[in-house]
Amino acid sequence: MSTDMGNRLRIKEILRERGISVVEFADKLGIERQNVYNVFTKPTWQRLEQCSEILNMPISEFFEKDDSEINGYIEYRGAIYRIKDLQSFQNLADIISNNNKQIEE
């Protein structure tokens, strides 16, 4: 399932800063090397928690910071959505509403 994080993840950058190779990180995660790229682009919340434990840092540090009044991430049905303003919150609400309508039909 895709995410709406707007390429705001810094995990790959953090690995570089710490001198940890993709192969080494994949091994620590217990996944194949080629699957690590999903961690860089569209991780689940569970995978972010695992990265947090491995790298010994809070999940919030994996995301770039900006000057938005609202800045957060919401997991819905396995996808992580970035909330940076009222419009992005409304977009997620619309997704949830549309999914609920499809279930009711």
Residue 38 neighbours by CB distance under 10 Å: 12
Q: pLDDT by residue for the chain (105 residues), tens digit each?
A: 344 444 478 999 999 999 999 999 999 999 999 999 888 888 888 999 999 999 999 988 888 777 777 778 888 888 888 888 889 899 999 999 988 877 776
Per CATH, is 11-62 categorized as 3.40.50.300? no
Q: What's the rounded Cα separation, in Å, for the pair 94 and 17?
A: 38
List the chain domain ranges.
11-62, 72-104
Q: What's the rounded Cα separation, in Å, for the pair 19 and 105?
A: 51
Q: What's the rounded Cα separation, in Å, for the pair 14 and 31?
A: 19
